Amino acid sequence: MKGVILFADDHIFDYSTGQNGEPSSENRLYRFLSQEQPVLGIKSRQQIRETISSIGSFTAVILDWQFDEEDQIEQESDDDESVLMIQKTSQKEHGTYNLLMQNDFYSLVYIYSDAKDEVEMTYGEKLKNKFKNRIEFRDKTNLSNTESEASKLLDEIRNWKTNNEKIAIPISWSQAINRSVQSIFSKLNSIDPNWLKEYYNTAKTDGVSPSVEVINLFQNILSELIIQNEDLRTLIDTVDKVEEGDISPESYAELTHILYYGSISENDPIMTGDIFKLDESKYGIIITPECNIRNIKINENYEMLCFSNNGFNSASFTFNANLKASTLVNKVEELLKTQFTNQQRRLLIADLNNHLNTVKKEIKIGAFTQTNYPSMHFLPCFEFEKGNYGGIALIDFKKGFDLLQNTDELIRKRIAKLNTPFIQELRQRYFAYKGRIGVPSFSKKLKQWLVDNN
């Protein structure tokens, strides 16, 4: 697994400190680590934010908890002269804590502090909830034995890489994205420095959101370049050789939810795929094309496909197993010419019900092969209840289409969006259903004769 160690400390570049002019312990640790791994050294929280947004993937992030110059506060001394003092960890919601909570990255995280126990007691629970077992608080006094500390860190990083080989794929993916983006911009700018404005203006003419259209253009070009990355494809193919982990259905459902559905902000323009909660049980997804949405005025209509929060359970594809047990038992008795005792009847009824429930479940599972039900579309892991990804949104094309007015009230009911390519799949299947052509029937006599002769 390739990657960079991010080392952030305001004393990392102190090459000469104290009376003896020796480098700081932070600088010594930085140089020891650099002998074996690529290490990016930075000295402020702002640089950390910029680096994370630019690079995005690291094998480890080493952070000093206290950045002296940033954590100074102004206080008044007895003689009314303003003096700067370093603020203690417990005195405020700390800058490093905020930085960690506001940024997402998957790597080891080491927090160094002279007040290690205090920091861990105050902030440890929330940070560990976010970074799980990847975050560790370390005593900064350990840096006095710099070589030993560097050796421990490198051993832990190597072990983490070995135990998390799958993480090599997202890291390589991130690196492929960075290289591809540079390649795209370089090539497009060499063709026409004004290419961005040209596409923006073209999108405006087409009547779609120009910023969204330009982003879609980026995505399409980027996807093609990444798909052509042989190293990344080879690395992904190694997943086939890795033993499957023990992932719970709940975790897999949450992952599927992330893939299918996106979040929205109130300032986002209305777009194809936006999802609305219309009342306590009714939901709708806009299928109006982007180019038409721009021209829809207040009180004009959006085209929607609607569904309810209990549509899957009440759907017509479920097996009609609501047969009276007594009827089934009588049929069995007739076939076997046997009169059952009451105990035998109870056992038989229970056994039959178990079989019927099994058949019903198998038919429901089979319904996810959507070609079996051309008039229905299933969206898995829909969040009908907050934090519960076990919902199934069933859209019945026969009765799900609706027109809803573009009003301020409707816009406030928007809750999420259906991501690409799933919105395209939904629209294609709906229009295929609506555009189907009926086939004339044949006489029963003709059908019987054809079957008999073939």
311 and 421 share one domain: yes
419 and 405 share one domain: yes
**Residue segments in the chain with a per-residue pLDDT below the cut of 50:** 1, 73-77, 82-86, 89-93, 320-324
Give the domain range for residue 361: 325-366
Query: Tell me, what's the pLDDT at 337?
Result: 66
Task: Kindly tell me the burial class for residue 132, based on how many C-beta atoms sit within 10 Å of its own C-beta (0-12, 13-18, 19 or more).
Answer: exposed
Query: Tell me, what's the pLDDT at 334?
Result: 67
38 and 79 share one domain: yes
351 and 394 share one domain: no
293 and 379 share one domain: yes
Domain assignment of residue 416, yes or no: yes
Domain assignment of residue 42, yes or no: yes
130 and 81 share one domain: yes
Domain assignment of residue 211, yes or no: yes
Query: Tell me, what's the pLDDT at 332?
Result: 65
Task: Kindly tell me the burial class for residue 288, based on how many C-beta atoms sit within 10 Å of its own C-beta (0-12, 13-18, 19 or more).
Answer: buried
295 and 206 share one domain: no
What is the count of structural domains for the chain? 4
Give the helix/strand (H/E) hosting 262: strand 261-262
Complete DSSP assignment for 199-217: HHHHHHHHTS-HHHHHHHH
Confirm if 406 and 299 have CB atoms less than 8 A apart: yes
30 and 141 share one domain: yes
Cα gap 421→223, rounded to integer Å: 13
Cα gap 282→310, rounded to integer Å: 9
Domain assignment of residue 453, yes or no: no
pTM of this prediction exceeds 0.85: no
41 and 11 share one domain: yes
Q: Which residues, at least 6 apart from 128, have a Cβ–Cβ distance to it below 8 Å? A: 135
Q: Which of 405, 165, 435, 196 is nearest to 288 (CA)?
A: 405
Q: How far is CA 35 from the centre of its chain?
A: 36
The amino acid that residue 106 corresponds to is Y
Q: Which two tokens stand for residue 173?
A: 């993916």
45 and 158 share one domain: yes
357 and 378 share one domain: no
Cα gap 146→408, rounded to integer Å: 62
Q: Which of 91, 90, 64 is nearest to 75 (CA)?
A: 91
